[in-house]
Amino acid sequence: MERTDDGGARRIVVISTGGTIASRWQGTGYAADASGDAVLATAPLPEGVTVEVVDLFNVNSSRMTAAHQLALLRTVHETLADPRVDGVVVTHGTDTLEETAFLLDLHHTDPRPVVLTGAQRPFGTGDGDGPGNLYDALQVASTVRDLGVLVVFDGRVHAARGTVKTRTLDADAFSDPSAARLGRVGFSRVDIARRPRRPEPLPLPAAARTASPDDPGATPLPRVDVVTHHSGGDTVLFEAALAAGARGIVLEATGAGNATPEVVEAVAAAVARGVLVAVTTRVPAGPLAEIYTGGGAVDLVAAGALLTGTLRAAQARIAVLAALLAEDERSGTDSAATGSAVTGADPAEAGRPGAGPSVTGSARSTALLRRLLDGPVRDEPAWAADTAHPVADASVAARA
């Protein structure tokens, strides 16, 4: 599939959120402080494109919170409510761009594009990559449709899902380690090779209507933590996340999704309390698979955890958050059941603080999370359960 500039006028809204593309020297280091207009002034505009700028906030993206991301999600939806807008570009720091892009994509129901971009070199530097990236993002936003949320960086077009920051400093900062990029942009031309695979988008969550970075406590949001397993790892950090009130935990396991029997027990107990547990891996590329028992993915799935396919920890966490936000929006219709079976509480006490989610709510959020995650929840094992011929496929054996 190929898309090129047809010469028609295009109206693009640029939403500025900070990051390196807006960062200037502060005496001891760089920090985001340049306005969206200042950032836009560094880049030429593609022919036939008019731009409006929205200065939403201005932060280093390592400081990005769920309140920031939900406020951005709301602003994107409000912007696209205007039928005269042809597309949206979001300038964003690279540290957490993959998380924000995926949250936007999970809730993107419009055929018009939303494109995220940024920079690896600060604002105003002679060799800065921000102006070129912004030009390319505007070019893509003005020419494509029906591709969901995109990441445009260093002449490459990526789908939001699966795309992560893979290089700390290089200009070619983003890729999907498990899939090919969508296309390229350059010389006033956008070439798209494939369409991204996306689940059915979610509606705007209620929390996005009120979330404010200036008052993060005004809209209580679900806590979702990431816990990494490693050699010699135990359940201390997993239990600490639960004690801190986590309603979802992403377990970053080893290999194709493996931990220990002790971790499996902790996961089973958490799931029984209505906590969503998703299992990803520390390995950069490839899907998770149910191969091993003894604390491996076979046992983690049996304990109630969901495997994340090719999604890695940061985006898996966003999927868990999105599922919980969607369930919170529905929980008002099911508040009488809150906590009854999960905690053993009497139904009359349902809805009290700390009672936990209802069985129905937990099942709904688990089913939704299953849909949002990449790939099936339970794949056939990569290796056959045959002691005489333990490797079912020579290609699997070669990869092992």
Question: Which residues are part of the catalytic machinery?
Answer: 20
Q: Which amino acid is at 158?
A: H
Q: Are residues 303 and 295 in contact, defined by beta-carbon separation less than 8 angstroms?
A: no
Distances (CA, A) of 48 to 53, 55, 177, 244, 295: 17, 23, 35, 52, 58
Q: Are residues 315 and 161 in contact, defined by beta-carbon separation less than 8 angstroms?
A: yes
Distances (CA, A) of 204 to 78, 148, 217: 11, 15, 20
3-class DSSP state of 16? strand
Contacts of 357 (CB under 8 A, 6+ apart): 247, 274, 327, 331, 338, 339, 342, 365
DSSP 180: -
Dihedrals phi, psi of 334, to nearest 5 degrees? -135, 25
Angle of CA points 359, 266, 285, to nearest 5°: 95
| Burial (CB count <10 Å: 0-12, 13-18, 19+), residue 284 | exposed
Contacts of 368 (CB under 8 A, 6+ apart): 323, 326, 327
